[in-house]
Structure 1
Amino acid sequence: MIFFGLKTCDTCRKAQKSLAPHFPDFKVIDVRADGVERSQLAAFYDRFGADLINRRSTTWRGLDEATRAKDPVELLVEHPTLMKRPVIVDGDQMYLGWSKDVQSALGVE
């Protein structure tokens, strides 16, 4: 399992704490510090579409209209904190966010 998030994100910290007992060897990737490969971002965008972009973030609010109109994957490459978090990859399954549905699917309710 690979967990993509931010170490400063409260939701990511809650998710990691809940996942740790069930998946003790899951890998954590900080999207800001470690970065995310373009191919991974493209796969995330293919799976989640526009839901992958966090339009409520302070990063999004700080962008001008021309920047917001860029290709979404390119925008995420340039501003990885725009990605909704966490993105959890477990084998061929991908999960976005830390909703009750995601928690249930991962068996960590």
Structure 2
Amino acid sequence: MKNLFIYLDSCNTCHRIKVELELTDDIALQNTKEEPVTMDQVEFLKEQAGSYEALFNRRAQLYRGRGLHEKDLTEEDYKNLLLDHYTFIKRPILIYNNQAYIGNSKKVVAAAQEALS
């Protein structure tokens, strides 16, 4: 998997982390609204995270909007939702040297910074 930063252009947290990481030119940028994640990317990220559920953003407005918070979702449901709409994927995601750093927690951002240095 190529070096890649997956983010949402309208997300201030994604922009802040992108600046903090001081991304180099060898890391491609992918605005997930304009270029949704592919099946291959989702499969790779699932391998890294351990499950589709671990990639899922429960803070997405559509999560409650579609009543998903009231359902028992399966791994297949999570996979389909991740591929269905860009807001369901946790972000940002840095893929660097075949390692994925998923989300915006301080621990994940620190690990990404360490990998890049």
Smaller-chain TM-score bracket: 0.7 to 0.9
How has the CA–CA distance of structure 1 residues 90 and 82 changed in structure 2, closer, same or farther, with 3 Å as cutoff? Answer: same
2-structure distance, mates of 1:31, 1:67:
26
TM-score by length of 2: 0.77
SS of equivalent to 1:46: helix
Alignment pair present for 1:92 and 2:98? yes
1:46, distance to aligned residue in structure 2 (A):
2.9
Give 5+ residue unaligned stretches, structure 2: none
- Pairwise CA RMSD: 2.2
Alignment pair present for 1:11 and 2:17? no
Alignment pair present for 1:58 and 2:61? yes
1:87, distance to aligned residue in structure 2 (A):
1.1
SS of equivalent to 1:102: helix
Deviations 1:3-25 (A, max 9, x none): 111001111001111122xx321
Percent sequence identity over aligned pairs = 28
1:1-109 alignment to 2 at 5 Å? 1-20=3-22, 23-25=23-25, 26-48=27-49, 49=51, 50-65=53-68, 69=73, 71-105=77-111, 106-107=113-114
2-structure distance, mates of 1:98, 1:40:
18
SS of equivalent to 1:7: coil
Contact conserved, 1:67 with 1:75, CA < 8 A, in 2?
no
SS of equivalent to 2:35: coil
Contact conserved, 2:48 with 2:99, CA < 8 A, in 1?
no
1:67, distance to aligned residue in structure 2 (A):
8.5
Give 5+ residue unaligned stretches, structure 1: none
The alignment of Structure 1 onto Structure 2 pairs a total of residues equal to 106
Contact conserved, 2:37 with 2:86, CA < 8 A, in 1?
yes
